[in-house]
Structure 1
Amino acid sequence: MFKIGELAELAGVSKRTIDYYTQLGLLEPVRSETNYRYYPEESIERLRLIDALKKQHLTLEEIKERLQIIQNQPDAADEIVDKIEHLQEEMKHIQEELLELKPLLKQLNEQQIKLMTKPLAQQGYTLLHTLAILLGGDPFIN
């Protein structure tokens, strides 16, 4: 069990962030007899998951909903955090590769560019569609 300051330091966030997340119900402290708040070790992992979900541009309310779902399946939380972090690393790598590709494409004519990038465009569309479905619905269906 950690005091608020200890948890904040271990998680790399401010005490104010811990307070705010507690008020929103994202973190659940245990109260001592003297009314001090203590946070269980799982709070560090929960803060990592909150951070990963924030990086996906989810609102704190959406994060709260997802945490409630995960809470019903606690064994899945670690796996979810790991997979989200892995996907973030992969997407960063893809962005870097695309930036390296941009100057090379300038050496081609328009027809060559279309021919070379068509498979990327199709895969990108499929990936975007899949991500949209996983992260909250299908944006292509009204």
Structure 2
Amino acid sequence: MAFERSDSNYRLYPESVLETLREIQSLKDRRMTLDEIKAFMDVKPVSKSPALEEVNAEIVHLEQKILSLKEELETAAPEEKHYIKEEIQFKMIPLLQLMTTLLS
């Protein structure tokens, strides 16, 4: 694939290439392996719905918050750890049910 070049002989990439790189970085940030990223990129849909884009952004945001909470749990008192774990379990049940329904 040939790319245009600037006056300074730098390659000029279309926005679609930059979007692909951003998506790969996002998947790496989610701790996916390169093999998993390749498999994901091979089967990803040609176009995405706005709702799917929003859900993906929220998932990334949630993953970051969960990692932050995990760090807090490392130094939390035992009763606080118990409370947080109970709270998360209570809220995860309806979320998992909704996701199961969506994916079936």
If the length of structure 2 is used for normalisation, what is the TM-score?
Answer: 0.52
Residue 117 of structure 1 corresponds to 82
Paired amino acid for 1:120: K
Residue 68 of structure 1 corresponds to 42
Give distance in 1, aligned partners of 2:33 and 2:3.
Answer: 31
Paired amino acid for 2:89: Q
Compared with structure 1, are the counterparts of its residues 84 and 45 closer, same or farther at alpha carbon in structure 2 (3 Å cutoff)? farther
Compared with structure 1, are the counterparts of its residues 38 and 74 closer, same or farther at alpha carbon in structure 2 (3 Å cutoff)? farther
Q: Which runs of 5+ in 2 are unaligned?
A: none
Compared with structure 1, are the counterparts of its residues 39 and 79 closer, same or farther at alpha carbon in structure 2 (3 Å cutoff)? farther
Q: Which runs of 5+ in 1 are unaligned?
A: 1-29, 106-112, 135-142
Q: Is the 8 A contact 1:32 1:38 kept in 2?
A: yes
Compared with structure 1, are the counterparts of its residues 55 and 33 closer, same or farther at alpha carbon in structure 2 (3 Å cutoff)? closer
Alignment of 1:12-51 (within 5 A): 30-32=1-3, 38-51=12-25
Percent identical among aligned pairs is 29
Give distance in 1, aligned partners of 2:63 and 2:71.
Answer: 12
Give distance in 2, aligned partners of 1:39 and 1:59.
Answer: 25
Compared with structure 1, are the counterparts of its residues 87 and 44 closer, same or farther at alpha carbon in structure 2 (3 Å cutoff)? farther
Q: Is the 8 A contact 2:4 2:13 kept in 1?
A: no
If the length of structure 1 is used for normalisation, what is the TM-score?
Answer: 0.42
Give distance in 2, aligned partners of 1:119 and 1:78.
Answer: 29
Q: What secondary structure sits across from 1:31 in the alignment?
A: coil
Compared with structure 1, are the counterparts of its residues 33 and 118 closer, same or farther at alpha carbon in structure 2 (3 Å cutoff)? closer
Residue 28 of structure 2 corresponds to 54
Residue 98 of structure 1 corresponds to 73
Based on CA coordinates, which of the two structures has the bigger radius of gyration? 1
Aligned length: 88
- The alignment yields a C-alpha RMSD, in angstroms, of 4.0
